[in-house]
Amino acid sequence: MGALQCKCLNCRAGLEFDPPSQNWKCDYCFSEFTKEQLDAVHDIEEKEEYEEEQPELDVYHCNSCGAELLADDTTSATFCLYCKNPTIIKTRFTGRFRPRYLIPFFLTKEQAQGLYRKWIGKKLFAPTEFKLKEEIEKITGVYAPFWLFDCRTNGSLQGQGTQVRTWVQGDYQYTQTRFFRVVRRGTAEYQKVPVDASKKLDDSLMQLIEPYNYKDLRDFSKQYMSGFMAERYDVESGEAINVAKQRVEQYTEKRLRETIGGYTSYHDTNSDIALQNSEESYAMLPVYLLVNKYKGKDHLFMINGQTGKVVGEAPVSKLKQLRLAGIIFAATWLLAVFGGAFFG
């Protein structure tokens, strides 16, 4: 009925991907399998699925307990609410929605929770509920959709530079200012410039958890989804290219500007960066995500599931600020009133 699950080759229970070993483990019989072992038995015909466009499903059935569950139109991997088994909605990974690449998780959920505890522990004025054990346990591993762009830029930068020389002769100080027209031209090639392909995720935070190390980039396999959530893209590549274009233009302009030196001052007068020969690939990249609510507003915390880089938003609790201010005021007042008695 549109769902796929990695099954244990021994007891047929659901398998989960284990980031430290990069293998699949069974929590019931404690068996462990490599990707090659699973491929040999299941013989998943992924190439055929890529070519076949299947209908969308908002309802799917858990293969373990048979429960009928709902998912929104971008959820691609999830958990059964009843038996907790990981389930992959395979129709969400077919046709144009089948990713080309994937970077698997390298951090466990427990490691992600530890990083969050360390991060939130430094936020003295963060709301108390952000630090509760039951909130920390809500951290979820999600494969986030990205477009990766390969492209080439051709750019030019023009500006004005000055060289200022000052010297003293006799009773006079002299200043000489020379003006120069500065021109730089160059080309640059970029590979796999990432652009967040989900409207649900905050673009600025998604950029902050970069970079990903592409040495771990692998051909996509649905087996890596087991044990994690996954989102299908809802930002088309034609829209995402505008973000990629802006980023590579900034990179190219910065690189051209870094070649300018030897001037007392410099300022740009004109820049022209053109994007050429762009090609996109659809990929899934690992993110640990926690959404905390405070006074009706969502506050996101993210961890790069490969590198462990942490970014997040923590609101300030006015009550905690007032309490600290009260303690400081009381301590200052006591010191002022009784200071003579203490130190006399």
pLDDT tens track for 251-282: 999 999 999 999 999 999 999 998 888 899 99
Assigned token pair, 130: 């952000």
Q: Per-residue pLDDT for 48 more than 80?
A: no
Highest mean pLDDT among 5-19, 43-57, 159-173: 159-173
Q: Hey, which residues does 32 pair with through a beta bridge?
A: 25
Assigned token pair, 108: 């466990």
pLDDT tens track for 81-130: 445 565 666 656 677 888 999 999 999 999 999 998 898 888 776 777 77
Q: What is the pLDDT of residue 330?
A: 62
User: Is 172 part of any domain?
Assistant: yes
Report d(CA 86, CA 66) in Å as an integer. Answer: 13
Report d(CA 90, CA 98) in Å as an integer. Answer: 9
User: Is 118 part of any domain?
Assistant: no
ω before 286 within 30° of 0 (cis)?
no
Q: Hey, which residues does 157 pair with through a beta bridge?
A: 184, 271
User: Is 304 part of any domain?
Assistant: yes
Q: What is the pLDDT of residue 53?
A: 44
- CA-closest candidate to residue 214, choices 243, 194, 189: 194
Longest dimension (CA), the chain: 97
Q: Per-residue pLDDT for 303 more than 80?
A: yes
What is the reported pTM?
0.74
User: Is 294 part of any domain?
Assistant: yes
User: Is 266 part of any domain?
Assistant: yes
Report how far apart, in Å, the C-alpha atoms of 93 and of each of 21, 97, 131, 163, 173 are. Answer: 25, 5, 36, 60, 74
User: Is 100 part of any domain?
Assistant: no
Report d(CA 108, CA 27) in Å as an integer. Answer: 15
Q: What is the mean pLDDT of the chain?
A: 80
Assigned token pair, 133: 């054990």
DSSP3 helix / strand / coil % (the chain, rounded to 5)? 30, 40, 35
Q: Report the domain count for the chain.
A: 1
User: Is 280 part of any domain?
Assistant: yes
User: Is 309 part of any domain?
Assistant: yes
Query: Which whole number is the average pLDDT over 228-244?
Result: 89
- First-last CA distance in the chain: 84
Q: What is the domain range of residue 266?
A: 143-319
Lowest mean pLDDT among 2-16, 51-65, 89-103: 51-65
Report d(CA 248, CA 65) in Å as an integer. Answer: 49
Q: What is the pLDDT of residue 326?
A: 61
